[in-house]
Amino acid sequence: MRYISTRGKAPALGFEDVLLTGLATDGGLYVPESLPHFSLEEIRSWRGLSYSELAFKVMYPFVEDAVPADDFRSMLDDTYQVFAHDAVAPLVQLDTNEWVMELFRGPTLAFKDFALQLLGRLLDYVLEKRNQHVVIMGATSGDTGSAAIEGCRKCKHVDIFILHPHERVSEVQRRQMTTVTGDNIHNIAIRGNFDDCQRMVKASFGDQSFLGGKTQLAAVNSINWARIMAQIVYYFHASLALGGPDRSMAFSVPTGNFGDIFAGYLARQMGLPISQLVIATNRNDILHRFLSGNRYEQHQLEHTISPSMDIMVSSNFERLLFDLLGRNGDEVRSLLEEAQSGPVSIEDYRWKHMRKLFDSAAIDDDTTCAMIREIFEHNEYLLDPHTAIGVKAARLCRRDKAVPMITLGTAHPAKFPDAVARSGVVSQPSLPKHLSDLFEREERFTVLDHDLKTVQQFMAEHWKHA
C-alpha cells in the first residue's frame, strides 16, 4: 500500500517511511492511496474475535508491505495486554440503545493509548531493523503527551520531546507526563496555548536543520497515519458487539483535532455500516460552525473544563477535506492557505454531502457539568467532561432511536477532578491503583517561552546524541 499527501506535491511513500516521516514535505498529511474494503460477510465472520485478533484483521492491509504477519500479531498482543480490562474497550449502557464505549482502560487512562501503545512498538521494530535513531516531537492538549511517553519511553532508538501549554492542562494530565523518568524523556511547558505548540511542531517538521543532520523528527500527534489506523479498530469492535454489521450504528465523538472521528469516517469507507457521526465539541467550536454553516473561521481559543478539546486548528480535518474536494491537493492547499487570513467555505454541494453523515454540537461548561450530574444521578456512572460533551451532543443530534448510539468515552474522570467537582457529584474521583501515588512522584519539566528558536535550541542541546 502506498500513501499520498493531502497537498499533492510530496512523493508517495510506503508504510515504514510514513511512520517515521509524520508530516509530508509539502506540508500535507499522508493518507492511503486507496482503502481496503470489507464485505458484510467478512465483517460478520469476525464476531467473537478478541480485540487484538480484530485489530489484525482491520489493520494488516495497511502494514503488510512492511511488517510480517506473525510479527504484527505479536505486536498487537503485547499492545492490548497492558489494558486493564479483558474486553479492552468495554461498552456500558446508559439507556435504550445508548452506550458509552470506554476507551480509557489503557495505562494513561485515555483513548490515545490505543494508538500510542502500538506506535511505540512499531517505531522500535522499524528503527531496530534500520539501525536508525529519531527524535519524537509532539504537542499535546493533555492526553497525547502522557500516552506517547508511556508508549515510547522504552524505545531504544528515540528521544521524546513533548510540548504542552503551561498551566492549561489538568494537574493529573501534567503529572502523568512529568513524573515519568528517563534520560530520553523531555517535557516542555510552553507559555501559550495548544495551537501555539502545534504550530511549532509543524514548523519544526518543515525545517529540521536545527538537528544538524544527525537525526530526524518523528511524529506522535495524530498527523501520524499510524495513530489514525489504530483508532479505526474500535468502531468495528463496538459494531460487532451490538449486532453489526447487520444493523447500522451511530457514534458521537468528543473531538478537537478531528483524528478520532476521522477514523470512524474511514471505518465506514472500509465497509462498516455507520449511519451518523456526531462531532461533539466545546466552546472552541470551529468544526461545529463549519458543519452547521459552511464557514471555516478561526476564533480566539478559549480555556474550558474540557482542555483536551481546547483546539482551534483541527489538523486532521485536512484529511477529510482532501476527500470532500475530490482528492485534489492543490484545492486543499489553496483553501487552507486562505483560511489563515479569514473565513472560507466549500462548494454547497460538497458541504451538503458532508452533512449526510456528520452532525455536530458545541457544549458549554455549565451544560457539561449538568450532563455529568444527570448521568450520575440516573445511572451512578461518572463521566469525564469530554465524554459528557459526547453524550450531550449525541442526545441533541440523534436522528433515529432505533439505531444504537455509541459515545466514545475518551478519558477517565479522575484525569479531570476539577470538572467533576464542579458538577457537584463527587469531590475527588479516585485514580486507579497503578496511579495511586501520582501526586507523590517527583516532576521534571522545563518552562519555555512561545518561541520556535528557543524550543529548537533546547531540543538540539538535549537529545542524547547531541
- Find the CATH number of the domain harbouring 238: 3.40.50.1100
Q: Output the pLDDT for position 465.
A: 63
DSSP state of 429: P
Using the Cα atoms of residue 203, residue 209, residue 210 and residue 216 in order, give the sign of their dihedral.
positive
213: in domain: no
379: in domain: yes
More confident of the two residues 392 and 194: 392
428: in domain: no
Q: Closest by alpha carbon to 135, among 150, 163, 157, 115?
A: 157
146: in domain: no
Average pLDDT, the chain: 94
- Residue 195 CA to residue 23 CA, distance in Å, equals 16
Q: Closest by alpha carbon to 231, among 136, 127, 126, 106?
A: 106
Q: What one-letter code names the amino acid at 339?
A: A
Average pLDDT for 188-199: 94
353: in domain: yes
Structural contact between residues 64 and 36, judged by C-beta atoms closer than 8 angstroms: no
Structural contact between residues 330 and 18, judged by C-beta atoms closer than 8 angstroms: no
The pair phi, psi for residue 302, each rounded to 5°, is: -115, 145
- Residue 22 CA to residue 32 CA, distance in Å, equals 13
457: in domain: no
Q: What is the total residue count of the chain?
A: 466
Residue 112 annotated in active site: yes
Q: Give me 205's grid cell.
A: 517538521
Structural domain boundaries, residue 96: 89-109+225-423
- Residue 224 CA to residue 119 CA, distance in Å, equals 9
In the predicted structure, residue 49 carries a pLDDT above the cut 90 = yes
Within 10 Å of residue 443's Cβ, how many Cβ atoms?
11
Of the residues 9, 57, 112, 453, only one is catalytic, namely 112
- Residue 209 CA to residue 460 CA, distance in Å, equals 10
376: in domain: yes
More confident of the two residues 181 and 403: 403
- Cell 483560511 locates to 339
In the predicted structure, residue 363 carries a pLDDT above the cut 50 = yes
Kindly report the pTM of this predicted structure.
0.92
124: in domain: no
Structural contact between residues 174 and 145, judged by C-beta atoms closer than 8 angstroms: no
Please count the structural domains in the chain: 1
Q: Output the pLDDT for position 424.
A: 94
- Residue 219 CA to residue 59 CA, distance in Å, equals 19
In the predicted structure, residue 104 carries a pLDDT above the cut 70 = yes
Structural contact between residues 314 and 223, judged by C-beta atoms closer than 8 angstroms: no
In the predicted structure, residue 466 carries a pLDDT above the cut 50 = no
Q: Closest by alpha carbon to 263, among 421, 438, 58?
A: 58
Average pLDDT for 139-143: 84
Q: Output the pLDDT for position 380.
A: 95
- Cell 506517547 locates to 148
